[in-house]
Amino acid sequence: MKAPQRLQSLIDEGMIDAVVRQLMSGKEATVYVVRCGDETRCAKVYKEATQRSFRQAVDYTENRKVKNTRQARAMAKGTRFGRQAQEAAWQSAEVDALYRLAAAGVRVPRPHNFHEGVLLMELVADEHGAAAPRLNDVAFTAEQARSHHAALIAEVVRMLCAGVVHGDLSEFNILLAADGPVIIDLPQAVDAAGNNHAQRMLLRDVANLRDFFGRFAPELLHTDFGHEIWDLYARGLLSTEAALTGRFEHKRGAVDLGGVMREIDDARAEEAARLLRLQTPQ
């Protein structure tokens, strides 16, 4: 196909030889299959902030590392320079997370390059070499569902041990490759230790896995790996070897007032983002 404008500079720089086809156009990015020498790769082109949904408007940018205070002030004020800085931070967050997670042994696409708002990475493929399907497009036996669920819980633990919470983990952001599930789509990933919303995001990620695989293996619907994992993490006891039961005893008694207030703030922010989304033509 004719190369889209946004990929032209990567062709000029010799990072891409040809654009094979468009794979997907989602809310936040358009993904292409490209040729690089004798390899087939995947190019993720981020949309401009105004065209994107407002995932990041809620809580994902909290505590994101910025280089200097001028940048931080500009981001807080929402000036043009600030918006550009925020945009760059959002896009590079995905590359950062991919490198960090690959180093920790989590199965994510291998990143190759990040250039002018385009992420060049491994094309996650099925056994025929074609782009792998999303979990959402595949049906499973109960046994397969149990096995993939267990493998993905182990990946969530490995991510958390590396200090990362995905934040948008679901059957839409996991591909089924020839060698098993691969986690993708990480621009909203957060630092587990430095973000007040990390716990809520982890619980939601784990609940999404439970609800999806629970359709094929209903006994999974009674598990509570999320609280168990977070509890171990908070007590400094989480490791990739930790034996998990899927059960968690919820303590009664002392109320965590700070936690309750955060939940309320979160719900408010999410509702504000939802309204914003409704008002914005996509």
Ligand X SMILES: Nc1ncnc2c1ncn2[C@@H]1O[C@H](COP(=O)(O)OP(=O)(O)O)[C@@H](O)[C@H]1O
Nearest to 115 by CA among 208, 16, 37: 16
Q: Which residue of 7, 93, 131, 176 would you call a contact of ligand X, by CB under 6 A? A: 131
Q: How far is the CB of 138 from ligand X (least distance, A)?
A: 12
Query: Does the protein bind Mg ion through residue 185 (CB under 5 A)?
Result: yes
Contacts with ligand X, 241-270, as mask; x by CB under 6 A? ------------------------------
User: What is the spatial distance between Cα 143 and Cα 234, in angstroms, rounded to a whole number?
Assistant: 32
Q: Which residue of 45, 89, 120, 121 would you call a contact of ligand X, by CB under 6 A? A: 121
- Total residues contacting ligand X by CB under 6 A comes to 21
Q: Which residue of 7, 15, 16, 42 would you call a contact of ligand X, by CB under 6 A? A: 42
Q: Which is nearer to ligand X, 135 or 198 (CB)?
A: 135
The secondary structure of 203-259 as a DSSP string is: HHHHHHHHHHHHTTSGGGGG--HHHHHHHHHHTT---TTPPP-S------SS--HHH
User: What is the spatial distance between Cα 115 and Cα 180, in angstroms, rounded to a whole number?
Assistant: 29
Strand order across the beta sheet in which 29-36 lies: 18-25, 29-36, 39-46, 118-122, 111-115
Q: Report strand pairing: 111-115 vs 39-46.
A: unpaired
Q: Which is nearer to ligand X, 74 or 175 (CB)?
A: 175
Q: How far is the CB of 232 from ligand X (least distance, A)?
A: 29
Q: How far is the CB of 222 from Mg ion (least distance, A)?
A: 28
3-state secondary structure of 90: helix
Q: Which is nearer to Mg ion, 61 or 173 (CB)?
A: 173
Q: How far is the CB of 39 from ligand X (least distance, A)?
A: 13
Q: How far is the CB of 272 from Mg ion (least distance, A)?
A: 22
Q: Which is nearer to ligand X, 6 or 262 (CB)?
A: 6
User: What is the spatial distance between Cα 220 and Cα 210, in angstroms, rounded to a whole number?
Assistant: 6
Site for ligand X in 3-32 (CB under 6 A): 23-24, 26-29, 31
In contact, 150 and 143? CB cutoff 8 Å = no
- Total residues contacting Mg ion by CB under 5 A comes to 2
Query: Does the protein bind ligand X through residue 183 (CB under 6 A)?
Result: no
Q: Count the alpha carbons within 13 Å of 93 in the hemisphere toward its beta carbon.
A: 27
Look up residue 197 and give its amino acid. H
In contact, 100 and 164? CB cutoff 8 Å = yes
Contacts with Mg ion by CB under 5 A lie at: 173, 185
Contacts with ligand X by CB under 6 A lie at: 23-24, 26-29, 31, 42, 44, 109, 121-124, 131-132, 134, 173, 175, 184-185
